[in-house]
Structure 1
Amino acid sequence: MSSQSLSKFVRFSANYNLCCYVKSHLEFSPFLRLSGESKNFSISQNMSSQKVLNLDNMNPNVRIMEYAVRGPLLIRATEIENELKKGVEKPFKEVLKANIGDCHAMGQKPITFIRQVLALVSQPELLDDSRYPDDIKERARAILEGCRGGSVGSYTDSPGIEIIRKHVAQYIERRDGIPCDYLNVLLCAGASDGIKSILRLLVADIDGKKPGVLIPIPQYPLYSATLAEFNMKQIGYYLDENKNWGLDLNELERSITEARKHCNPRAIVVINPGNPTGQVLTRENVEDVIKFAYKEKLFLLADEVYQDNVYAEGSKFYSFKKVLTELGSPYSEMELASFMSCSKGFMGECGLRGGYTEVINLDPDVKAMLLKSISAMLCPTVLGQAVMDCVVNPPQPGELSYESFQEEKASVLKSLAERAKLVADTFNSIPGMSCNPVQGAMYAFPQITLPKRAIEEAKNKGIEPNAFYAFQLLEKTGICIVPGSGFGQVNGTYHFRTTILPQPDKLRNMLDSFKNFHLQFLEEWK
C-alpha cells in the first residue's frame, strides 16, 4: 500500500474516531512515519480545537504509547474485510490475521472440559443435567461455592477466589517440586493485567532519575506500551539471532551500563518461551539472568505464559522460580514475579481473560501495597478465574473427563509442533528469508533481505522498509503480519512476526501465497 493510498484511506474514513486513532499511529509508530500531505487531518484538528480534551493537552504518556500488533496494518486489514463484504474485487477471498496470537479466531476448537465447566458455573441449573460428567460438576460446584451468592456474577476477593488460588499453588508445586503459598498467588484478567500491576509498583524517581526496565529486543509490545504509559524508561537488551535468539551476558552488561547514564534500572523482564522469537531458554541462560539480576539488584519479571508451548526436540521449559530456588542462597531470596495465562498454551481462551501472578520474597509492606492497588480494580473477571482453575486443576486419571481431555490437549500441542516446523522450514526455503527454529510459543520471526530499491522507496515514502513490505503483502494476498520494527530489531535488519496458528490447510495456503508474493516482490524491486 503506497503512502498516497494510505493517506487517502485515512482522509476519507467515515469513522472520526478511527481517523484520530490512525493519525496517532502515523505520527508516533516506530515502523510507520509519514510526512507532508498524509499528516493533514484538517477535519479532526478543527473538531479537536472545540474539545476540552485534545491531543495537545491530554496525557502525553498515553499519546506516545503504541501496541504494534494492533497498529495501522490491522486497521487496514479490517477495512479490507469490509470491502470484501461489499463485493470489492481483490486478488484473495479473505483476510488472514496472522498478526496476533488468537487461537480460536484461527480455527482452534475450545477444550471440551473447559467449556463444560464454564457452562455449569454460568447456568447452575445444568448441574442436574445427566449429560455432564460428575467430575465436571464437582469442579463447577467448588467454584460456585467460592462465589458470593453462588453466582459468577458476583464480585470476588480482589486477589481472586480462594479455592482457585489454592489450585494454582498446587499446580506450581507439581510443576516445580517446590512449595507454593497460595497467598502469593494473585489471579488477574490475563497475564497483561498482572504484569502492569507489578510494573506500576516500580514507578518512582530515585535521585532525580526515572525508573528503567530491561526488556528483550525483539520484545512483546505490551512492555514498551506500558513503560510509555507509566513514563518509565525502556532499556532494550538484544537477543542474539545468530544463537537462536539466545541471551548474552555481555549484551545485558552493555545495556545496563548505557542505561545508568540516563535512568535508574529497577527490573528485568524475560519472556520464556519467547514472543515474538519462539525460542526456549536453556537452564544455563535462566541461571545467567538470575545471577545478573542479583548482581545488579533488579526485580525479576518472568513472562512464562507459553510454558505449555514447547515443541523442539531437546528444548525444555525451566521456570525461573524453580531455578532460582535450586540455586540456593542468596538467589533464592530474590524478588520474583512470574506470570501465566489461559490465553495461550493448549487452551487459547484469549477473550475470557484469565491469568495469575505469583510473587515471592516481596517486602511485606510492598505486598500490602500491591494488594491495595489491585483492590481498586475490584476483582478479575470471574469466568476468567474459572478458566484458570480448569488449566491448573485438570481432570486426573480415573476421572470421567480425563481421557478426552488428554486427547484434545495432546492433539492441539502436536498440531502446533507440526505447524511450527512447517513455518520455519518454509521460510528457510524461500530466497531472501531466514528463520530460526520455532522452539516454542506461537510465532515465527523471520529475517528478510529487502532489495535496495525497495528500501529506498519505503524511505522516500516515510515508511519503515519492513512496514512497506507488510502493507504490500496485505494488499496483494490478504495476509496481515506485524513488521519487526514494532518489536525492535538490530539496525539494518528487517523482520516480521507471524503466528503459526492458522489451521494446517489454511496455513499451507498462507505459506504458498507468502512465497509467491515474496518472489514477486524481489523481482519487482531487484
Structure 2
Amino acid sequence: MAAQGPGAPWVPRRVPGVPADCSSDDAHAVGRGPLPVLRQVAAACVCPQLLGDPALPEVARRRARRVLGEMDAGNIGGYNHEHRGLGVPARVARFLQRRDAGVPCHPRNVVLCSGTSSILPFVLSLLVDAGSAVATGVLVPVPGPPLLGGATGLAGAVAVPYPLDEERGWAVDGRAVREALRRARDTCHPKVLCVVNPGDPTGHVLSRQNMEDVVRLAAEENLLLLADEVQQERAFLPGRPFLSFKRVLWEMGTPLSSAVQLVSFYSLSKSVAGESGFRAGFLELVNVEEGVTLPFQLAQSIPRPCVLGRILLDVLMDPPDEGDPIQQALEEHRQGLLRDLAHNARLVQEVLGRAPGIRCRPVQGGARAFPRIQLPPRAQRQARALGLEPDVFFCQKLREATGITVAPGSQFGQPEGTHHIVCPLSPARLSLLPPAAMLEQILLALTRFHAAFLRQFS
C-alpha cells in the first residue's frame, strides 16, 4: 500500500475477506440475521394455512391469530382501516408511554407511515405557505442525514444549516443556531428546527441539559421542533441513555410542556428488529396546532406502511406480558445488538485512537462513527485540481487501493476546514454493524492506507 515515491502511482492491494462496500448501517445487509419469530408471525398472516402447522412455534401462530382477528374478514389483503387507524396506534401509544416513564400519549397523535424518508417531505410541506413571497426555512444540523435537506427541498422550503459542536461531542450549540437564524431571516422565514438524536452520522447521544437548552431555544424563537429519533434503540452506553424530546419537554413542566410544538419519528428500519425492507414507522404529534394535524386525518396521499410492515411494527409495540416468549426473544435480540455495538464502538476508538492524523469522538449511539482525518495541503490541491472535495479524493484513493468503500464527510456536511469519513447507508461513517473481526480488518486497513497517503502527499 505504500507509495514508490512522491509521484508514484497507487498500487491497489485488496484486503482479503473485506467486502467492496462495508459502509452500510442496514443490519441485515451486513449479516445480522432477522428475529425469527417476527418473520414467523408475518408468514402465518400471509399464509393462514400455517396456523395449523407445527413447524411454526405455537407462540408465533398465536400472535398471528390475534393479528388476523383484527383484520377485515380475517384477511390481510383488505384495506383494514380499523387495524391501521385504531389497533396499531393504540399499541404504539402504550409503547411510547412505557418508553417515556408514563408520559401520556393518545393514539390520535400517532400517525403510521411507510418510513421517515417518505413522510418527512409531507410533514414539512404542511408548514410551507405557498402564497407567501418569503420561503419557509428549516434549520438542519451539519453534520446530519442528507435526507433532511432533500426533504426540505421537496416540500418547497429552504434548508438552513447550523453546525454541531465537534469539540463538545457534536452537541447542539444554541449560539450557532441563533446565528444561523439571524442570517437566514434576511432571505426566509425559519419555522422548523430539526434535531437528530442519536446523531447520524456522528454517533452522539444528546445530554438532558443540551436537550433542555434546545427546547428553550425552540420556545423563544417560536420554532416547531422536529426530532429524528429513529436510532433510539441503538443508544448503547448506560451512562448516556436515550431520552425522547417528548419526555424532556414534559418533565420541564408548564408553560413549555404545553407550548412547544414537537413532531418525532420512529422507524422499523432502525428499530431493534432492523427490518429495513418492510418500510414502516410512525410519527407522534405533540402540541401541534390543528391546522397541521388535520391533514393527517383527511389526506389520502400520506405514504402508509404496507400491511406486513404494519404487522411487524405491531408485534414490536405490543405491551410485554411476563414470560411472553416473543418479548423474551426481542429482549435477548436487543441486548445482543447493544453489546455488539458497544464492543465495536470501543474497537473503533482503540484502533483509530492509535493512528496519527485521525481523531474520532466517542460513539454513544447509532451504528456509525464520523472520524476526522488529516489531509495534507498537497493532497487538497490535487483534489481541487480534479474538481473534487479533498475527502472525496481520499475515499476514491482508499477504494482503489483496498477495495474498501467509505463515504466522504462532505456529503453530510462538516465544520469548515475539516475533513471526515463515514461509511454510507445514507452516505457516511464507519459502520458499527459488521462482525467485530471484519470491522477490525477494515479499521487496520484504513489506518495503514491513511499513513501511506500522508507519506505520499506530505
TM-score, normalised to structure 1, is 0.79
Aligned 1:481-520 pairs, distance under 5 A: 481-497=406-422, 498=429, 499-520=431-452
1:104 to 28, 37, 56: 28
SS of match in other structure, 2:29: helix
Per-residue Cα deviation, 1:332-381 (whole angstroms, up to 9, x for no partner)? 222211111111132111111111111122223432223333x2247321
Contact 1:159 1:188 in 2 (8 A): no
How far residue 415 of structure 1 moved from its aligned partner, in angstroms, is 0.8
1:219 to 144, 155, 162: 144
Aligned residues: 437
How far residue 203 of structure 1 moved from its aligned partner, in angstroms, is 2.0
Q: Which amino acid aligns with 1:332?
A: S
Aligned 1:86-101 pairs, distance under 5 A: 91-92=14-15, 95-101=19-25
**Distance change >3 Å, CA 416–CA 378, structure 1 → 2:** closer
Q: Distance in 2 between matches of 1:215 and 1:289?
A: 13
Q: Distance in 2 between matches of 1:159 and 1:99?
A: 37
Q: Distance in 2 between matches of 1:469 and 1:388?
A: 40
1:180 to 98, 105, 108: 105
Contact 1:133 1:400 in 2 (8 A): no
**Distance change >3 Å, CA 402–CA 267, structure 1 → 2:** closer
SS of match in other structure, 2:192: strand
Q: Distance in 2 between matches of 1:378 and 1:339?
A: 14
SS of match in other structure, 2:198: coil
1:119 to 43, 46, 54: 43
Q: Which amino acid aligns with 2:99?
A: R
Contact 1:273 1:280 in 2 (8 A): yes
Per-residue Cα deviation, 1:140-175 (whole angstroms, up to 9, x for no partner)? 223223333433333343993521111100000111
Contact 1:277 1:438 in 2 (8 A): yes
1:190 aligns with 2:115: yes
Q: Which amino acid aligns with 1:108?
A: R
How far residue 266 of structure 1 moved from its aligned partner, in angstroms, is 0.6
Contact 1:159 1:187 in 2 (8 A): no
SS of match in other structure, 1:160: helix
Aligned 1:26-425 pairs, distance under 5 A: 91-92=14-15, 95-157=19-81, 160-176=84-100, 177-205=102-130, 208-333=133-258, 334-373=260-299, 375-377=300-302, 379-393=304-318, 395-425=320-350
Q: Distance in 2 between matches of 1:353 and 1:505?
A: 30
Q: Which amino acid aligns with 2:38?
A: I
SS of match in other structure, 1:479: coil
SS of match in other structure, 2:149: helix
Per-residue Cα deviation, 1:179-210 (whole angstroms, up to 9, x for no partner)? 11111111111222232221121122575210
Q: Which amino acid aligns with 1:356?
A: F
Q: Distance in 1 between matches of 2:288 and 2:400?
A: 50
What is the aligned partner in structure 1 of residue 7 from structure 2?
Answer: none
Q: Distance in 2 between matches of 1:297 and 1:495?
A: 33
Instruction: Report the more deviating stretch, 278-287 or 324-333.
Output: 324-333
Q: Distance in 1 between matches of 2:302 and 2:83?
A: 10
SS of match in other structure, 2:283: strand
How far residue 470 of structure 1 moved from its aligned partner, in angstroms, is 0.7
Per-residue Cα deviation, 1:73-100 (whole angstroms, up to 9, x for no partner)? xxxxxxxxxxxxxxxx973465342333
How far residue 402 of structure 1 moved from its aligned partner, in angstroms, is 4.0
Q: Distance in 1 between matches of 2:387 and 2:325?
A: 60
Q: Which amino acid aligns with 1:444?
A: A
What is the aligned partner in structure 1 of residue 3 from structure 2?
Answer: none
Q: Distance in 2 between matches of 1:324 and 1:378?
A: 28
Show structure 2 runs of 5+ residues with no match: 1-11, 423-428
Instruction: Report the more deviating stretch, 415-424 or 143-152.
Output: 143-152
Contact 2:122 2:302 in 1 (8 A): no
Q: Distance in 1 between matches of 2:111 and 2:216?
A: 26
Q: Superposition RMSD on alpha carbons, in Å?
A: 2.0
Aligned 1:395-474 pairs, distance under 5 A: 395-474=320-399
**Distance change >3 Å, CA 257–CA 158, structure 1 → 2:** farther
Per-residue Cα deviation, 1:248-304 (whole angstroms, up to 9, x for no partner)? 111111111111111000111111000010000011111111111111111111111
Q: Which amino acid aligns with 1:318?
A: L
Per-residue Cα deviation, 1:124-143 (whole angstroms, up to 9, x for no partner)? 21111234344323332232
Q: Pick the structure with more helix per residue.
A: 1
Show structure 1 runs of 5+ residues with no match: 1-88
What is the aligned partner in structure 2 of residue 478 from structure 1?
Answer: 403
Q: Distance in 1 between matches of 2:288 and 2:329?
A: 40
How far residue 430 of structure 1 moved from its aligned partner, in angstroms, is 1.1
**Distance change >3 Å, CA 434–CA 111, structure 1 → 2:** same
Per-residue Cα deviation, 1:26-77 (whole angstroms, up to 9, x for no partner)? xxxxxxxxxxxxxxxxxxxxxxxxxxxxxxxxxxxxxxxxxxxxxxxxxxxx
Contact 1:146 1:161 in 2 (8 A): no
Instruction: Report the more deviating stretch, 91-100 or 253-262.
Output: 91-100
Q: Distance in 2 between matches of 1:310 and 1:377?
A: 30
**Distance change >3 Å, CA 433–CA 133, structure 1 → 2:** same
**Distance change >3 Å, CA 496–CA 402, structure 1 → 2:** same
Contact 1:279 1:440 in 2 (8 A): yes
SS of match in other structure, 2:415: coil
Identity %: 37
Q: Distance in 1 between matches of 2:270 and 2:383?
A: 35
Instruction: Report the more deviating stretch, 157-166 or 295-304.
Output: 157-166
Q: Distance in 1 between matches of 2:212 and 2:83?
A: 30
SS of match in other structure, 1:472: helix
Q: Which amino acid aligns with 2:441?
A: N
SS of match in other structure, 2:233: coil
**Distance change >3 Å, CA 363–CA 405, structure 1 → 2:** closer
TM-score, normalised to structure 2, is 0.90
SS of match in other structure, 1:266: strand
SS of match in other structure, 2:81: coil
**Distance change >3 Å, CA 354–CA 207, structure 1 → 2:** closer
SS of match in other structure, 1:186: strand
Per-residue Cα deviation, 1:489-523 (whole angstroms, up to 9, x for no partner)? 11111011122111112111111211221111111
**Distance change >3 Å, CA 292–CA 429, structure 1 → 2:** same
What is the aligned partner in structure 1 of residue 8 from structure 2?
Answer: none
